[in-house]
Structure 1
């Protein structure tokens, strides 16, 4: 069983990011298990913690270590990624030389309530993941515009085209995961 960790960039209750992540989790085939990894409870990273980290840091790092790959679903905040997501990336990358992200395949899905569809967040996150040595799905790129219109009243994607596109994205992610697992 391959375990896919899902990190949701928004820590808001009932966020579009969380609902989008739930829908995408359902697109993984048998043999893949998804689990959302909580980031809202992580204290702001401080290098002083490297010598004596809070227990919640250890729990988070161990959870990420146990995953085969990571799916990031994030909104855009001020043309970049949310602070909670950046903090989680920092917590997982420290202490220096002990990054839990190293070599883990990743998929980025960004969105916004505008037509820009999280373009800035997507590319800023790609920049950080490159430094963290996370091979990331390059194509297809996923930018979801007008998040508020993607989901119906039950929280499911309204458009079959959206589901089919995201199914192809999940397949590309699976191919990346298998490539790195086989090497």
Structure 2
């Protein structure tokens, strides 16, 4: 596998969100043998089982991009100690209808930025629980939990904290390696 295609998206709809900014930073910190395409979850409507067999165009496109990607990168905020609704909604859409999940077998890494000192630790651990049912393969380490986010990012949204930049760089390199190992059937 020469180039590892990563699909990234943020569980925040806010245009100036730290998580969107972290994904933009990740695009600059990729290993040479990887690419990172970003998907905006804003057009995805609330999930309805009534529509799962004929999903809206935004959902169809999301699932198409997931399937074309070699790996997934999720940037999540943490709301009320857990996963943001917009992120869970997108995950649910892409897993439906039952038997047509786009997630199955995908390597995935999580990073997240939050105002609190713990970054997005609780949301990330909840996401890992969701990955079990989805049959995804999360990267265990390095974990990237950015907090307090206001200290790591400049007013212009640029990631200025060098330690965080280095952690994202290491996480992306590990995700590429993890993806290659899984494609080759190695543990």
TM-score exceeds 0.5: yes
**Separation of aligned partners in 2, 1:110 and 1:71:** 10
Of 72, 75, 82, 1:73 maps to 75
Correspondence 1:112 to 2:114:
yes
Give the alignment partner of residue 98 of structure 1, picking from 100, 103, 111: 100
Whole-angstrom CA distance in 2 between matches of 1:158 and 1:38: 23
Give the deviation of 1:45 after TM superposition. 1.0
Which position in structure 2 is the counterpart of 1:86? Answer: 88
The residue that corresponds to 2:24 in the other structure is 22
Runs (4+) off by over 3 Å: none
**Separation in structure 1 between the aligned mates of residue 93 and residue 51 of structure 2, nearest angstrom:** 10
Aligned length: 183
> C-alpha separation between the residues in 1 aligned to 2:159 and 2:168?
10
Output the CA distance in 1 between the equivalents of 2:47 and 2:5. 26
Name the TM-score, length of structure 1 as normaliser: 0.94
The CA deviation at 1:153 is 3.5
How many Å separate the matches in 2 of 1:51 and 1:135? 26
8 Å contact from structure 2 (residues 103, 134) kept in 1: yes
Relative to structure 1, is the Cα distance of residues 145 and 48 closer, same or farther in structure 2, using a 3 angstrom cutoff? same
In the alignment, structure 1 residue 54 sits paired with structure 2 residue 45: no
Worse-superposed segment, 45-54 or 106-115: 45-54
CA distance in 1, matches of 2:155, 2:15: 16
Deviations along 1:7-49, one digit per CA (max 9) or x if unpaired, are: 1111111111100111012111223111111211111111111
| Aligned residue among 14, 33, 52 for 1:12 | 14
1:30-74 Cα distance to aligned partner (Å, 9 max, x none)? 231111112111111111112322222211111111111100001
